[in-house]
Amino acid sequence: MPATEKLRKRLEDRKAALFASAKEIDAELRVTPDPDFAEQAVEMEDDEVLEGLGQAAMAEIDQISAALKRIETGTYGACTACGNPIGEARLEAVPHATQCMDCLEE
């Protein structure tokens, strides 16, 4: 399997896992609050954390979708800032990366 196909599979698997996680978070946020006032305060704090996790998951899903689109269009692996290749090690670590390390550090 070519390297790009391996990365595509990783991206698709990660996207599916994030969707599943976001679905679980959404279900948890829909739970009826506890009638105990003290427990409601704890649940509200938990809900804030869950909302943050859900937002992070959706942001990563957007990044992965964009990376999959770049694979389809043949622009995957090119830095969106300078056009130079993004290093293989960087893409292995962050498959949805859009910039090379030089541009990222600027």
**Average pLDDT along the chain:** 88
Looking at the predicted structure, is the pLDDT value of residue 2 above 70? no
Confidence tier at 1 by pLDDT (50, 70, 90): very low
Give me the amino acid identity at 53: L
Q: What residue spans define the domains of the chain? A: 3-76
Q: What is the pLDDT of residues 15-57, one digit of tens each?
A: 999 999 999 998 888 877 766 766 666 777 788 888 999 999 9
Angle at 90 (CA atoms; ends 7, 49), nearest 5 degrees: 85
Count Cα neighbours of 44 within 13 Å in the Cβ-side half-sphere. Answer: 7
| Residues 101, 97: Cα–Cα separation, whole Å | 10
Considering only the C-alpha atoms of the chain, give the largest distance between any 2 of them, rounded to a whole number of Å. Answer: 58
Crossing angle for the helix pair 37-73 and 3-29, to the nearest 10 degrees: 160
